[in-house]
Amino acid sequence: MIRAYREIYLSKAQGLLGDAFDYAINACYISGDDFIKLFIASSVSKRMENGEPTYLAGKSGVEIVMEIVLETTGKKLTPQVHEHFGRSKEYWIGWAVAYYQWYSGRKYGEIFKALSYDDLQKMYYTLHEADISKFVDAADSRIREVFSETNLKRFRTAYGLTQTELAKRSGVSLRSIQMYEQRNKNINKANADTLLLLSKVLGCTMEDLIEK
């Protein structure tokens, strides 16, 4: 499966976004919903989606909050004294969402469209002590409710290919690809050769294309 960026930067991204949520909400008193809006509107979210090494390695959560606010509102925040012990609820939200973004390859805007701040707060109480895979499963379920696209379409668009380009590269007919993506044809019943051809082009496994 295609990940958003190399795994060696994942823990940094999680810590960075966790600290940012914690600082923005608990030290700067920005509401969770408002901070999400500012984060999505900023270039910071795009840089994190791309896993820019110099960005993740050279910024702190406090610094990116100040950068986000300045870029989106024109206001320069005064650094606030902020102490926290352990992982706060807000830290966990940023930490978990950063993991899911890396895992799924989705844009932060899409994730937060499916999962509101209120949704994430509720998930914290049942999932913050569980393995991160439990959060991934819950997020996947919610994503499927909000976005009806098939796995094939999701991987194709993430890879930046049109249906025609995928057909040419894979050797699978354009009509078949269209029908799989429109759910007029069940990809779960496709023969192994078809799944293999598609998965090789899209850089994923055959199982990634199966609809659960």
CA distance 101 to 48: 9
CB 174 within 8 A of CB 164: yes
Contacts of residue 88, Cβ cutoff 8 Å, sequence gap at least 6: 22, 26
- Can you tell me the mean pLDDT for 163-181? 95
Q: What are phi and psi of 88, to 5 degrees?
A: -80, 170
Give the residue from 93, 106, 135, 6 showing the smallest Cα distance to 46: 106
Confidence at residue 54, expressed as pLDDT on a 0 to 100 scale: 81
Confidence at residue 112, expressed as pLDDT on a 0 to 100 scale: 96
Give the residue from 99, 130, 131 showing the smallest Cα distance to 11: 99
- The pTM assigned to this predicted structure is 0.74
- Can you tell me the mean pLDDT for 43-69? 91
pLDDT tens digits for range 91-147: 999 999 999 999 888 889 989 999 999 999 999 999 999 999 999 999 988 987 887
Residue ranges and CATH numbers for the domains of the chain are 7-146 (no CATH), 151-209 (1.10.260.40)
Confidence at residue 204, expressed as pLDDT on a 0 to 100 scale: 92
CA distance 80 to 28: 7
- Distances in Å between the Cα of 180 and the Cα atoms of 61, 104, 174 are 42, 20, 10
- Quote the radius of gyration of the chain (alpha carbons, Å): 19
Going by pLDDT thresholds of 50, 70 and 90, the confidence category of residue 2 is low
